[in-house]
Structure 1
């Protein structure tokens, strides 16, 4: 289905269902669903019957797989050991069948805690054995690997699998989802050492237990291995309190909804196409029709905005058409029957579009509006550089003049995407996320009006461009906060790096300050934050002496990665990012 030889990923099966019900009950439920799809036939009903039949077959195969290991999963799990084993079998079936770019776990920790605490109360487990059980589970999750083409590493540097486990959060009735097993999952980063997988994601609420907030901050300071997402925002906007994070930053109600992954569009390239009369900036091929050539000399903001919006509208049309075809074909030839066996038979679906380079767009349009920007063109009339006269407000410094440009472009693009038909009537969402493809996007994009040179990497996700957020950490965070989650419900990724001293001198002071920063950031309506607490010199030394840093883990853009497994180009890009030395 995809124009690559790996699957679409981004679907989370409710792997808890295997431990809760066993295969026999799940098959019975699927057969009942199949019987209900009757009466006057339609294309939707015929396709749904075919899919449910495939899911029933997958459940039978999973039963056989577990039996080959000596386990009978036809029945529900009866104790903690079985609960962990059953959940693992369900996930194992998914990763054996599919090599999706993101094979996320969901929210297993709170669920497994019920079995573990019951066994502890019954005297069947003690705390040491409970932690060992989670350690062993995490070891198995860390072992997941897929064969990948070389081009995969250009987009997803470091070979991530996104075994994303969502930890924490609050229920609608005010109860916390934090359990002892939430702590146990985080503790694996000490017992087993830091690691990118599983992609541990804390669902941050203002009402989380203070002790848990403090421990999360401590783990971030010690390992730079976890990310945070705004539980209060997602519950309020999306509606469910039983959800997980697919891949990096994407909400998904577990077992009730799925997501069709739509990658992302290169917005700076779209701007250059607009500035070149609809032509691609490198070879001059016309890719968007009816875009008028701009007059020579200093760029006029209103004229640029007009042709840019025309280009975005055409980009949205082509993008939506491509996603419709891709996901139709993926269902036809590579349907995720093992994962979908653990999802409601007719789930809600999001089509997850994406946009890369929002900070370049904001800065470029700001430069055109507030400074004087003159294109430098070659003999074909294509832009090769830009001359900037004067200063302009730059995204990342809490300046509404430029921050609002980023906000409005995001709103316009998702508005255009929503105009188009979607496969299976899925709901369009948008992410501001690049993974590590910001390097690849940059290498294929010419010079832009913000002063970025041809081939230079984009900033990751919704981050400000490297070195431009020079008004301190809080100002940088405030700029990203202004992006409206309602316009980017697939996620707004922000990767944030601080030197340890910026948080204070003592460990207690550092932990308290990081908790305060996270609470303040999310209270303003921000969606996501990767947290790195380390010195740039550490990364430089790891670049030069990788043998000394076998477990050095950092957050990049929605996931964690072993730094020394990144390509040299990706390593250098990470090193050049802003490291905040003061709040």
Structure 2
């Protein structure tokens, strides 16, 4: 004990004292020790023109090889990392931050606990054969999450999956969207955390012996034991690299390295759809500032350490199936890092390290990962606003989220974004990820009595299809309301099954070890096709929509007479319909029982699956053709927002975060000249546009999320024809960034047909 106390005292020398020294409380450490920065980017080091050190040079070499191919380097998939202590390659002494997922860079590990069938399919996609013994083990002896789920699924849920009214459910892969508080490894060291976990374990003994919430208590005690074991394995893994992380980090390099080891354990043991990094930049800045003031490092050293950390995040890879890639295209892992924002005390959380993270998009070029997310506030320092705007204009690699909306909602400034748009307090909250329900198809079920328009089979509850030559708004809305009740029940039932089985067969021990004992859980549902459904209802109400039926009486097409208001033009007639759909579906979900009493939430988000949803959905009453992509996330349908940037942004900003607290994704593309004639004007105008979109007050929520692309459609067309000219071309899609060249031709065409705003 005395040895541990000595380590803590030595590592914490020079930091302001606080509650954080006696309990796990990273936020308290940050608040007492970070240095707000309101200056500009002029302090950043100008990196030398000679060849870069080995780590960055390695990344450059690898990126040249991988930029033009979807599958990247097709090395044989490695053995499953049953322990976090799998062997590692030797490191180069010039490498500032060490540690790889597998034996070699970009090699994809087998992680079979989510489902062996998906692993087998993924291997086939890479022209590799799964080891028969491994298949036998995870088929006959060790049950997987996927098998557990399908043992319990109902016929109705299976039909919903088949038809695409529910799509992307995490029933065969890791759910992800859990953010371990990786900063804890650096601030406290593993031994302190082990001691804390053991105290948590003992704290449950009385409830266990007295039968208080018996099943939940037993489960939690077992989970804490697994977390305790995982912490020990993380320490062993670090020792393989010659790092003793039993105690806290003593300098900036160790703080970055220790934090990365926590994250590395996560991506070695889980293949979640989103393995987010959290909110580390301000935390790490405290260590960097301490070393800079002591003369131990230079600004160039600081930038290179951040470069090497970001390089490692860019190199994470998971083994995926082609079907998965259709939903989440471009190899995303969502190593989301949340930067900036304001403190509840009114100080900005922008530091010099916020600039360093953004600067990696120049020092190493644009890249989708990490998914850099700026927490935007109207009160952010103007210099940082303009620098972030400059980075967006130059790289189209950033996303923005409304700190003025989310910070007061949590009454906490230590939250981060999981995946794309999902906020949660770091180390105190986790999410049960739930993919999306297809509202456009649900409307077609309401019209056709529950018969799927593509499969020609009964999927929804059997009822009389709508008769008559013209669709009546009140009748369609009444029918749709009933089908939304049915869909909500199927959806939540599926998610309850999925997350029960994931906890049982693929528990994220290394991530949950970096959480408090009692975490807040959310059940994160989602909706797709919002703008299609809203425009369809608008067409039915304000124009004349005639269903065209096939020989079986199924409405398979629609004839529209007259004009109708379309979502994305700041027209309350249709915008209010979109608002109603979001609120209506959320209220239906809230009525249902959730696993582990998770708080129901909802997102308006599609990733690149708007293309897949479109394929699975027939002609819709808004005039959209069968198979055509939906608008991504909360976006208006392609080309329908015709009144400029402000009108489109205003429509989306009306969608209620109160009923979509898992996030509302809007991808905004604008041509450079629309922002102004020169760089300075463009930076100012883009920052001003975001101030307006995110404006929050008591009666106005403001927008929640914004992807920003500043580019011309002509460049994307040229990139389709000549990909070799644009090896690092990065664009924002619904909730994340992706290399344009890694998209399929179909997805590239979808991006190109989206609205490119020509005027403010």
TM-score class normalised by the smaller sequence: over 0.9
Structure 1 residue aligned with 2:375 = 203
Counterpart check, 1:36 vs 2:206 = no
User: Which residue among 342, 348, 352 is the counterpart of 1:170?
Assistant: 342
CA RMSD of aligned residues (A): 0.8
More off after superposition, 286-295 vs 549-558: 286-295
Structure 2 residue aligned with 1:343 = 515
Structure 2 residue aligned with 1:286 = 458
Length-normalised TM-score, structure 2: 0.76
- Superposed displacement of residue 556, structure 1: 0.3
- Superposed displacement of residue 287, structure 1: 1.9
Whole-angstrom distance in 1 between the partners of 2:533 and 2:499: 29
- Superposed displacement of residue 291, structure 1: 3.2
Whole-angstrom distance in 1 between the partners of 2:464 and 2:434: 29
Counterpart check, 1:78 vs 2:250 = yes
User: Which residue among 262, 282, 305 is the counterpart of 1:90?
Assistant: 262
- Superposed displacement of residue 345, structure 1: 1.8
Paired residue secondary structure (2:607): coil
- Superposed displacement of residue 4, structure 1: 4.8
1:554-579 deviation line (CA, Å, top 9, x unaligned): 00011000000011111110000000
Structure 1 residue aligned with 2:665 = 493
- Superposed displacement of residue 56, structure 1: 0.4
- Superposed displacement of residue 283, structure 1: 2.7
Counterpart check, 1:323 vs 2:495 = yes
Structure 2 residue aligned with 1:16 = 183
Whole-angstrom distance in 1 between the partners of 2:611 and 2:759: 27
Counterpart check, 1:99 vs 2:271 = yes
Whole-angstrom distance in 1 between the partners of 2:502 and 2:461: 30
CA contact (8 A) 1:536 1:575 kept: yes
Paired residue secondary structure (2:575): helix
Structure 2 residue aligned with 1:417 = 589
1:134-180 deviation line (CA, Å, top 9, x unaligned): 01110111000011111111100111010000000111110111000
Structure 2 residue aligned with 1:541 = 718
1:498-520 deviation line (CA, Å, top 9, x unaligned): 00000001111101100110001
More off after superposition, 374-383 vs 46-55: 374-383
CA contact (8 A) 2:521 2:598 kept: yes
Paired residue secondary structure (1:429): strand
Larger Rg: 2
- Superposed displacement of residue 278, structure 1: 1.3
Structure 2 residue aligned with 1:139 = 311
Whole-angstrom distance in 2 between the partners of 1:274 and 1:295: 12
- Superposed displacement of residue 284, structure 1: 2.7
User: Which residue among 523, 534, 553 is the counterpart of 2:730?
Assistant: 553
Whole-angstrom distance in 2 between the partners of 1:238 and 1:568: 41
Whole-angstrom distance in 2 between the partners of 1:390 and 1:536: 31
Counterpart check, 1:47 vs 2:219 = yes
- Unpaired segments ≥5 residues, structure 1: none
Paired residue secondary structure (1:381): coil
Equivalence map 1:103-142=2 (5 Å)? 103-142=275-314
Structure 1 residue aligned with 2:163 = none
Counterpart check, 1:353 vs 2:536 = no
Counterpart check, 1:241 vs 2:413 = yes
CA contact (8 A) 1:291 1:311 kept: no
Paired residue secondary structure (2:600): strand
Structure 1 residue aligned with 2:192 = 25
Counterpart check, 1:570 vs 2:736 = no
Structure 1 residue aligned with 2:389 = 217
Whole-angstrom distance in 2 between the partners of 1:355 and 1:289: 20
Whole-angstrom distance in 1 between the partners of 2:748 and 2:554: 32
Question: Cα 1:4–1:323, aligned 2, differ >3 Å: closer, same or farther?
Answer: closer
- Unpaired segments ≥5 residues, structure 2: 1-144, 147-169, 697-701
Whole-angstrom distance in 1 between the partners of 2:340 and 2:461: 49
CA contact (8 A) 1:12 1:254 kept: yes
Whole-angstrom distance in 1 between the partners of 2:465 and 2:746: 35
Counterpart check, 1:61 vs 2:233 = yes
Whole-angstrom distance in 1 between the partners of 2:737 and 2:455: 36
Count of aligned residue pairs for this structure pair: 583
